[in-house]
Chain A
Amino acid sequence: MSIETTNSSAGEVKPEFWRWQENCWADESKDWRSAKVITVGIDVGSVSSQCVIVADGELYAYNSMRTGNNSPDSAANAFKGVELKTGLTLDDVHMVVGTGYGRVNVPFSHKAITEIACHARGANYMGGNSVRTILDMGGQDCKAIHCDDKGKVTNFLMNDKCAAGTGRGMEVISDLMQIPIAEIGARSFDVEEEPDAVSSICVVFAKSEALGLLKAGWSKNKVVAAYCQAMAERVVSLLERIGVEEGFFITGGIAKNPGVVKRIEKILGIQAVSTKIDSQIAGALGAALFAQTLVQKQGPCKPVALAA
Chain B
Amino acid sequence: MIANYGYKDGSGEYYISIDTDKCISCEAGRACLTACPKGMFESMVDDYDDEVVCIKAEFRRNLAYDCAGCKPSTGRAALPCMTACTPAAIKHSW
Chain A directly contacts chain B within the complex, with at least one CB pair under 8 Å: yes
Q: Which residues of A contact B6 (CB under 8 A)?
A: 157, 159, 161
Q: How far is the CA of A262 from the CA of B22 in the complex (A)?
A: 38
Does A205 make an interface contact (CB < 8 A)? yes
Majority secondary structure of chain A interface residues (helix, strand, loop or mixed) = mixed
0/1 per residue, A225-246, Cβ < 8 Å to B?
0000000000001100110000
Interface residues of B in 1-30 (CB under 8 A from A): 1-10, 13, 15
Contact A114 B47 (CB under 8 A): yes
Interface residues of B in 39-94 (CB under 8 A from A): 47-48, 60-62, 93
Q: Which residues of A contact B60 (CB under 8 A)?
A: 160-161
Q: How far is the CA of A22 from the CA of B31 in the complex (A)?
A: 48
Q: How far is the CA of A179 from the CA of B37 in the complex (A)?
A: 48
CB contact between B13 and one of A117, A153, A156, A241 (< 8 Å): that residue:
A241
Contact A242 B2 (CB under 8 A): yes
Majority secondary structure of chain B interface residues (helix, strand, loop or mixed) = strand
Q: Which residues of A contact B62 (CB under 8 A)?
A: 161
A-B contact count (CB 8 A): 55
Residue of B nearest to A115 (CB): B47
Q: Tell whether A157 pairs with B61 under 8 Å between CB atoms, given A114-B47, A117-B47, A202-B10.
A: no
How near does chain A come to B3, taking the closest CB pair, in angstroms?
6
Interface residues of A in 194-213 (CB under 8 A from B): 200-202, 205
Q: How far is the CA of A118 from the CA of B31 in the complex (A)?
A: 30
Q: Which residues of A contact B1 (CB under 8 A)?
A: 153-156
Residue of A nearest to B12 (CB): A201
Does A162 make an interface contact (CB < 8 A)? yes
Q: How far is the CA of A239 from the CA of B7 in the complex (A)?
A: 12
Does A187 make an interface contact (CB < 8 A)? no
Contact B4 A161 (CB under 8 A): no
How near does chain B come to A204, taking the closest CB pair, in angstroms?
9
Q: How far is the CA of A202 from the CA of B9 in the complex (A)?
A: 7
Among B9, B60, B62, the most chain A Cβ lie within 10 Å of the Cβ of B9
Contact A162 B2 (CB under 8 A): no
Q: Which residues of A contact B7 (CB under 8 A)?
A: 159-162
Q: A152-B48, A154-B1, A161-B7 are in contact. List 12 more A-B contacts (CB 8 A).
A: A155-B1, A155-B2, A161-B60, A161-B61, A162-B9, A164-B10, A201-B10, A202-B9, A202-B10, A238-B8, A241-B93, A242-B2
Q: Which 4 pairs between the two chains have the least Cβ-Cβ distance? A: A161-B7, A157-B4, A161-B61, A117-B47
| Residues of chain A having any CB pair with chain B under 8 Å | 113-114, 116-117, 152-162, 164, 200-202, 205, 237-238, 241-242
| 12 CB-based A-B contacts, threshold 8 Å | A114-B47, A117-B48, A152-B48, A153-B1, A156-B1, A156-B4, A157-B15, A158-B4, A159-B6, A162-B7, A164-B9, A201-B9
